[in-house]
Structure 1
Amino acid sequence: MDQLAPVTPAPPLAGDTTADVVIVGAGFTGLWSAYYLKQQQPQLDVVVLEAHTAGYGASGRNGGWVIGELAGEDRLLAGLEPARRDACLAQLRDIPAEVGRVVASEGLDCDFRHGGVLYCAARYPEQEARLRQQLAHWHAHGHGTQDFAWLEVAALQQQLRLAQPYGAVFSPHVATIQPAKLVRALRRRVQELGVRLYEHSPVRTIRRYEALTARGRVRARWVVAALEAYSGSQAGVCSQQIAVQSMIIATEPLPQALWDQIGLEHGQAFSEWSRLVSYGQRSRDNRLVFGARGGYRFQGRLRTPFVLTPAEVALRHKLMLELFPMLAQVRITHGWGGNLGVARGFAPQVVVDAANGVLSAGGYGGEGVGASNLAGRTLAALICGTPDECLQIPWQTTPDKLRRWEPEPLRWLGYNGIMRSFDWEDRVLNDRHSASWKRRLAQQLARRMDGLLQ
């Protein structure tokens, strides 16, 4: 957000009002929902209530990937007949293109680039074996080489030059944006379309057909809880998401000579294929944006304000230099993080509580920039009764069918135990002197712990 000019906040809600739809939360889910509602039925009276300013949460503080998939999509689509599965996959793969269409048609300035992604084996040989297994899995589940294609080292180095490459998979189904710019642009556009936005209006309670703040209430035919990680502390929202944190750094703008050494000429994103994922991209102002690792706080407590500590910046800087040692003398100028929602089973969901007129969406598992666009279309279609192909995706559920996370302290112990097993695996495999038995043991333990998350 600090790259943008200050914006005058919308006024807070003062008193009671009515609307056709009230949306709680002005992040990507809420703003996309408002946008598509106005596209489908321009006459709708739509109110958006935001506790701070639009994009205050993870929507303005993320890695900027628009991914053409949903977290856990294999389990989500399992059991569908082939024709419907293919149709759902086509809908998911089209998410970056749909965002691009709206960005172009509405003139949204957000540094959108549809350059695809490189999933890289980049630090130890076991990554190559796991990545080749994943590629075989993708191909066995309805994806072709046009969706996921193997790149040998020479082909990878034409796009991205890493210190120790073993190969990569390229997929065209990822775009990148500057998230704070997209939030700001969507905020402006929905207001132009007639949406009533009230900022600094934290909602205390969501209940049947209404949302209540300290200074007023909005009664509506539909209430949309677009809160994602922030839904756990909201009274009246039936959600089983927990909040975890992502953390990202960015370098100073790099000279062209360094970019000639790195690559990424065409807006590609990249990800290193370990269980503790590292990822990044080249920004429009020529910074390297790099994210890695995350965190969970006891009882899923939100982290706010979200300023990275020197140790958190240093860890990500160290990982970045393992991939790009030519950046050793480059300054890190920015570090930030965001709270994101994870549902049990890593299954994002659209929750329909028709009896109370309440809808919600979230649990995107760190892939919310793209998934929120699909959620906005889905919520708008459900409210308007509009037939839409996005409704074929089987991620709708009801409050009584939501899976619950384990109670504390089991949740905290389990999360940290799993993350420590991933960290141990990564350290063992990244040490070329580790004994073969130790490498096998580390992988077996991490794989079993990984299964606990499903």
Structure 2
Amino acid sequence: MHNDALCNFWTSTLGERPPARPRLTAHLQADVAIVGAGFTGLWTAYYLKRLSPALNIVVLEAERVGHGASGRNGGWVVGNLAGLERHIGGLSLDERRLCCGVVADNVDELGGVLAREGIDADFHKGGAIYAAARYRDQVAIQRGYLQHLHDLGHRETDCCWLDAGQLAEKARFRDGYGGIYHRQVATVNPARLVTGLAECAERLGVTIHEHSRAEILERRKVSTGEGSVEAPTIVCATEGYADGFHDFKRHVLPVQSLVVATEPLSESVWQEIGMAERPAFSDASRLINYGHRTADGRIVFGARGSYRLGARSKADQAIGEAAMRMRRDLLVDLLPALEGVRITHGWGGSLGLSRNFRPHAILDRRHGLATAGGYAGEGVAASHLFGRTLADMILERDTELARMPWAFADASHRQLIKRWEIEPLRWLAAQAITFSYAGEEALMRRGKPLPLIKPALQRMNDYFASVIE
């Protein structure tokens, strides 16, 4: 499978796509130029237009709308931010609770926009299960994570513990020891969301140029091979596809995430699995897996892939048979009722990882450059929150979002986002971490105490997580 529309299940649900939007072939003036027609860029354009309809906004996309992570992710809309503790860890409990409330309520805000704008993206709020479902050791990991969420400031009504019986009422995993239920999580069809959002932005008057790859970002100007846009503010919304920009690629690296979709499951199989409420689900593996029941009765399931030497983004979406088989085997390990299930689609691409695993919305007024990202795989919801935040900052609105600790006005990404190490050091580190995580998983699978080795490996992996993430 080499055609993205055949590989990517989400894209296959769109039907026949309209012709590409015109390339940028002129030299334009605008109020805001946005590089990247994914969620971050389009949400920023949408909110800028909603708040200030007279603005002239131009969006440049290297391929088609949603070509990057926005059109092919796992479809989770998470009421949390990976790395949030790095922003709010030093605040008072009341302040932390305020920030966590903003992040959690963002899920409902996003769903409300889709309803108001008539964007049919299969938005479904079924919550998420973070299960201890393969190894007994995962119980302690998930209980520790639940305590972390509460200490961070998340409402206990939003994040609670499920014992084995309560877990089985929501989903029946192979060994369902228990787990966390996070109420503020929804799922979407991301391809429908990003295409619907682009059409909505155009109705509001935003101009989108496809097949218009930005080659040069400079002060208040962005240039393609055939044209340019000058604007007081340039928004770089490329996330894991910033490798074309020499400066940004030092700060945000592309990490691959790969996803598969099953055939539609029979009602009898669903009776065995449960998931009547269509929750998202994951287990406690450090290698990170994520899945959910789609609107048409499939399971979409993914797991973090790898880092490519030289920080190369994945240009196409096709993945190999071995990658699909690995994810199928992991899914069946979680849900044995799926033994023999057919995988119909397998796809993947890049997501952005900042050096300190710190999501950010940054506006450098001096140089006329704004950016947002560092979502670490949780960008469907975060991009909506940060698009709103960038819009408020660009328009100089004194709002709650503009005062959040992840919002940085009058600052530069060079000051705020630490640079990654040079190659091959970061590639070697990525390999070491991957092997170490796999080793910890293998020990948990054995189910033996190993009192010296297991705690030491866990402490080392906790250190990796804190430094890299």
Per the TM superposition, whether the score is higher than 0.5 is yes
Kept after mapping to 2: 8 A contact 1:76/1:395: yes
Q: Which residue of 2 aligns with 1:447?
A: 462
Alignment of 1:311 onto 2:322: yes
Q: Which residue of 1 aligns with 2:198?
A: 187
Q: Which residue of 1 aligns with 2:280?
A: 269
2:35 aligns with one of 24, 36, 39 = 24
User: What do you get for the CA RMSD once the two structures are aligned?
Assistant: 1.5
2:300 aligns with one of 263, 283, 289 = 289
2:388 aligns with one of 374, 377, 395 = 377
Kept after mapping to 2: 8 A contact 1:247/1:335: yes
Note the C-alpha offset of 1:235. Answer: 4.6
1:56-95 → structure 2 map (5 Å cutoff): 56-95=67-106
Give the 3 Å change call, closer, same or farther, for CA 304–435 of structure 1 in structure 2.
same
1:430 aligns with one of 437, 442, 445 = 445
Letter in 2 for 1:321: V
Q: Secondary structure at the match of 1:341?
A: strand
Which whole-Å CA distance do the structure 2 matches of 1:168 and 1:375 have between them?
A: 29
Q: Which residue of 1 aligns with 2:134?
A: 123
Alignment of 1:216 onto 2:227: yes
Return structure 1 stretches of 4+ with deviation > 6 angstroms. none
Q: Which residue of 1 aligns with 2:4?
A: none
Alignment of 1:143 onto 2:161: no
Kept after mapping to 1: 8 A contact 2:362/2:407: yes
Which whole-Å CA distance do the structure 2 matches of 1:102 and 1:11 have between them?
A: 27
Q: Which residue of 1 aligns with 2:5?
A: none
CA displacement 1:58-107 (0-9 Å, x = unmatched): 10010001111111111211222343322211111111101101011001
Letter in 2 for 1:3: T
Q: Which residue of 1 aligns with 2:12?
A: 2
Q: Which residue of 1 aligns with 2:418?
A: 403
Where in structure 2 are there 5+ consecutive unaligned residues?
Answer: 1-10
Give the 3 Å change call, closer, same or farther, for CA 211–64 of structure 1 in structure 2.
same
2:207 aligns with one of 172, 196, 210 = 196
Moved more, 438-447 or 368-377: 438-447
Q: Secondary structure at the match of 2:260?
A: strand
Letter in 2 for 1:39: R
The total of aligned residue pairs comes to: 454
Letter in 2 for 1:51: A
2:428 aligns with one of 402, 413, 423 = 413
Where in structure 1 are there 5+ consecutive unaligned residues?
Answer: none
1:150-189 → structure 2 map (5 Å cutoff): 150-189=161-200
Letter in 1 for 2:46: Y
State the TM-score, normalizing by the size of structure 2.
0.94
Kept after mapping to 1: 8 A contact 2:34/2:60: yes
Give the 3 Å change call, closer, same or farther, for CA 238–282 of structure 1 in structure 2.
closer
Kept after mapping to 1: 8 A contact 2:250/2:420: no
Q: Secondary structure at the match of 2:446?
A: coil
Letter in 2 for 1:67: V
State the TM-score, normalizing by the size of structure 1.
0.97
Note the C-alpha offset of 1:129. Answer: 0.9
CA displacement 1:373-397 (0-9 Å, x = unmatched): 0111011111112232111221234
Q: Secondary structure at the match of 2:459?
A: helix
Note the C-alpha offset of 1:441. Answer: 4.2
2:270 aligns with one of 256, 259, 263 = 259
Note the C-alpha offset of 1:237. Answer: 4.5
Kept after mapping to 2: 8 A contact 1:232/1:240: no
Give the 3 Å change call, closer, same or farther, for CA 84–261 of structure 1 in structure 2.
same
Q: Secondary structure at the match of 2:231?
A: strand
Kept after mapping to 2: 8 A contact 1:225/1:237: no
